[in-house]
């Protein structure tokens, strides 16, 4: 990798004698890390922990994640280790046991969104937004697989959030940046880098921050991050925002063993990750608190007109036992789809539907087809799913992968049942048995496209059991 000359000169000035180690690190293989979904995999794997998060682990090698059914079941997420530092900002500056409204503004592909969903309380609301439509669909897929049920995925420009003044307690802005911290993982980022692009990114980041600032409540927390190292996109932007809006800079308590570098500019603290110091990629994070006192708006006594429509009592009765603790949810119907949303968040979700472009919300439970209901993929992957309501079948590795490729698989019996298919106790999705035939209902757009190898060594994240898939 040939680093751009002006970038190398700046980093030499920034790092001094450490620059040689920094450059050497960029030529080493990037570490591989995952974050577990504790609601699906509660055990403790025999893997080295990422120290700044409770659910992140390093892998000794990079397996073929696509051929691991547990990934498709939402049991874990493949995420870069440095970015999991977000957890420290949330834990140290918010009470995560309280109901919160959280915005992940630049959410795709879903690493931070699923991480936040794991940290907030079940009666909290997470709005995961992505401005690019195709990436918003990927975000919705990953949120669905994670299965939290209290997440709304939106596809909006940051300026659209001005329609929701003082709506959020926490905003996470993982801003689009020049990508310097990803040079090791993405050689294309090196080719696209330039001083001009750095300046353009810094200006765009300022616009994004100002576009969403009004939707943060007084007393609310802003967490800003990038995967780059220059001052313009990091410390200077946050110092500018703190001065512009008279926001309160926040510092974090670090363990020296983490080797995260704390910085300061005009009284604003920042935290930098360098690949020669931490086992991770380049990353920057800073936190601010919006000053002022929040006054909750007075509830109108007028009867409100809702955009969300409740499902009919007949349909509700049919799906009521499909979730654990169904009384916690409101059943809404959008077209032919019945969804479950947390009852306590009904008004907030309705406000989002009235003001934003919502592409996914809560948990899509069933599709109404005349007098019959078809269970949907999101139900199978929900953390609130009551598996006892359906017949289940456990698949071996080969059958699980064939199912995820949307191929035909065989199951004994002769019936007319919806069947929940599982791998190692983890739901994968639905099949419908019609007599002796089995119809595969795995979503076409999610299917595994790569060919299965002649012999597959299935490693449990590279360290434990090894199985062979004979073809």
pLDDT at 462: 54
259/364 same-domain check: no
Question: Is residue 233 in a domain?
Answer: yes
> Angle 65-70-74 (CA atoms, 0-180°, nearest 5)?
100
Two tokens, residue 150: 């209290």
In CATH, what number is assigned to the domain containing residue 327?
3.10.450.720
331/255 same-domain check: no
Count up the domains in the chain and report the number. 2
339/196 same-domain check: no
313/269 same-domain check: no
Question: Is residue 446 in a domain?
Answer: no
* Residue in the structure block whose two tokens are 């073929």: 64
Full domain range(s) for residue 16: 5-30+79-289
Q: Find, among 462, 466, 465, the residue nearest to 33 by Cα.
A: 462
Q: In a 10 Å sphere around its CB, with 0-12 CB exposed, 13-18 middle and 19+ buried, how is residue 251 labelled?
A: middle
Two tokens, residue 260: 């995260």
241/385 same-domain check: no
How far is it, in rounded angstroms, from Cα 33 to Cα 325? 34
Name residue 288's beta-bridge partners.
222, 249
Two tokens, residue 264: 């300061």
How far is it, in rounded angstroms, from Cα 422 to Cα 430? 9
Buried b (16+ CB within 10 A) or exposed e, 152-185: bbbbbebebbeebebbbbbbbbbbbbbbbbbbbb
213/266 same-domain check: yes
Cβ count near 112 (within 10 Å):
23
How far is it, in rounded angstroms, from Cα 387 to Cα 323? 8
* Residue in the structure block whose two tokens are 């009004």: 214
Taking the model in full, what pTM does it have?
A: 0.96
177/210 same-domain check: yes
Query: Would you say 174 is a known binding-site residue?
Result: yes
Two tokens, residue 258: 């983490």
Domain boundary among 389, 406, 423: 389
Task: Give pLDDT tens digits along the chain (471 positions).
Answer: 799 999 999 999 999 999 999 999 999 999 999 999 999 998 889 999 999 999 999 999 998 899 999 999 999 999 999 999 999 999 999 999 999 999 999 999 999 999 999 999 999 999 999 999 999 999 999 999 999 999 999 999 999 999 999 999 999 999 999 999 999 988 889 999 999 999 999 999 999 999 999 999 999 999 999 999 999 999 999 999 999 999 999 999 999 999 999 999 999 999 999 999 999 999 999 999 999 988 877 766 667 788 999 999 988 999 999 999 999 999 999 889 999 999 999 999 999 999 999 999 999 999 998 878 999 999 999 999 999 999 999 999 999 999 999 998 887 777 778 999 999 999 999 999 887 788 999 999 999 999 988 777 776 665 445 566 655
Q: Find, among 111, 105, 209, 100, the residue nearest to 150 by Cα.
A: 100
Query: Would you say 160 is a known binding-site residue?
Result: no
Residues 6+ apart with CB under 8 A from 291: 218, 219, 245, 246, 247, 248
Q: Find, among 138, 147, 161, the residue nearest to 114 by Cα.
A: 147
217/362 same-domain check: no
Q: In a 10 Å sphere around its CB, with 0-12 CB exposed, 13-18 middle and 19+ buried, how is residue 403 labelled?
A: buried
Query: Would you say 18 is a known binding-site residue?
Result: no
258/197 same-domain check: yes
Backbone angles phi, psi at 317, to 5 degrees: -65, -35
pLDDT at 300: 64
Domain boundary among 389, 411, 445: 389
How far is it, in rounded angstroms, from Cα 301 to Cα 286? 41
Which CA distances in Å does 338 have to 47, 145, 157, 368? 40, 18, 28, 7
How far is it, in rounded angstroms, from Cα 86 to Cα 360? 24
88/180 same-domain check: yes
Q: Which string of DSSP letters, residue by residue, matches 327-372?
A: GGEEEEEETTEEEEEEGGGHHHHHHHHHHS-EEEESEEEEEEETTE
Domain boundary among 327, 362, 389: 389
Specify whether 201 is catalytic.
no
Q: Quickly list H helices, 85-234.
A: 86-93, 111-119, 133-146, 187-192, 195-213
222/348 same-domain check: no
249/370 same-domain check: no
Two tokens, residue 237: 């932007």
Catalytic residue among 106, 177, 201, 227: 227
Cβ count near 142 (within 10 Å):
19
Two tokens, residue 270: 């920042």
In CATH, what number is assigned to the domain containing residue 161?
3.40.50.150
């Amino acid at each position: 990798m040939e680093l751009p000359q002006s970038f190398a000169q700046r980093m030499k000035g920034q790092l001094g004698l450490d620059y040689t180690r920094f450059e050497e690190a960029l030529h080493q293989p990037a570490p591989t890390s995952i974050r577990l979904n504790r609601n699906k995999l509660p055990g403790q794997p025999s893997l080295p922990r990422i120290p700044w998060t409770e659910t992140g682990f390093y892998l000794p090698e990079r397996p073929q994640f696509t051929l691991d059914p547990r990934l498709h079941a939402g049991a874990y997420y493949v995420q870069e280790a440095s970015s999991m530092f977000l957890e420290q900002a949330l834990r140290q500056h918010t009470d995560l046991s309280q109901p919160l409204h959280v915005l992940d503004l630049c959410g795709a592909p879903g690493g931070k969104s699923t991480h936040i969903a794991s940290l907030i309380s079940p009666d909290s609301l997470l709005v995961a937004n992505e401005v690019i439509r195709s990436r918003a669909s990927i975000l919705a897929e990953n949120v669905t697989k994670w299965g939290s049920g209290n997440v709304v995925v939106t596809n909006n420009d940051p300026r659209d959030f001005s329609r929701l003044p003082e709506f959020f307690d926490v905003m996470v802005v993982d801003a689009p940046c020049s990508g310097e911290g990803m040079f090791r993982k993405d050689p294309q980022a090196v080719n696209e880098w330039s001083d001009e692009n750095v300046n353009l990114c810094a200006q765009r980041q300022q616009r994004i921050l100002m576009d969403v600032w009004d939707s943060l409540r007084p007393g609310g927390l802003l967490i800003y991050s990038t995967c780059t190292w220059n001052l313009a996109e990091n410390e200077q932007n946050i110092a500018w925002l703190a001065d512009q809006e008279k926001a309160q800079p926040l510092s974090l308590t670090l363990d020296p063993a983490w080797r995260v570098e704390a910085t300061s500019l005009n009284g604003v603290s920042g935290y930098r990750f360098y690949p020669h110091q931490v086992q991770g990629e380049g990353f920057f994070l800073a936190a601010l608190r919006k000053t002022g006192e929040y006054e909750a708006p007075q509830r109108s006594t007028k009867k409100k007109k809702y955009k969300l429509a409740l499902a009919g009592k007949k349909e509700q009765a049919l799906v009521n036992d499909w979730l654990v603790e169904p009384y916690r949810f409101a059943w809404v119907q959008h077209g032919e789809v019945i969804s479950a949303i947390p009852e306590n968040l009904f008004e907030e979700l309705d406000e989002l539907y009235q003001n934003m472009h919502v592409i996914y919300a809560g948990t899509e439970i069933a599709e109404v087809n005349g007098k019959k209901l078809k269970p949907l993929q999101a139900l199978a992957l929900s953390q609130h799913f009551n598996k006892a309501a359906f017949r289940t079948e456990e698949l071996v590795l080969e059958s699980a992968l064939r199912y995820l490729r949307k191929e035909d698989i065989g199951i004994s019996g002769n019936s007319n049942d919806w069947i929940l298919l599982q791998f190692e106790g983890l739901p994968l999705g639905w099949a419908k048995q019609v007599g002796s035939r089995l119809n595969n209902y795995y979503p076409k757009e999610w299917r595994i496209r790569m060919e299965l190898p002649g012999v597959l060594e299935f490693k449990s994240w590279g360290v434990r059991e090894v199985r062979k898939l004979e073809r």
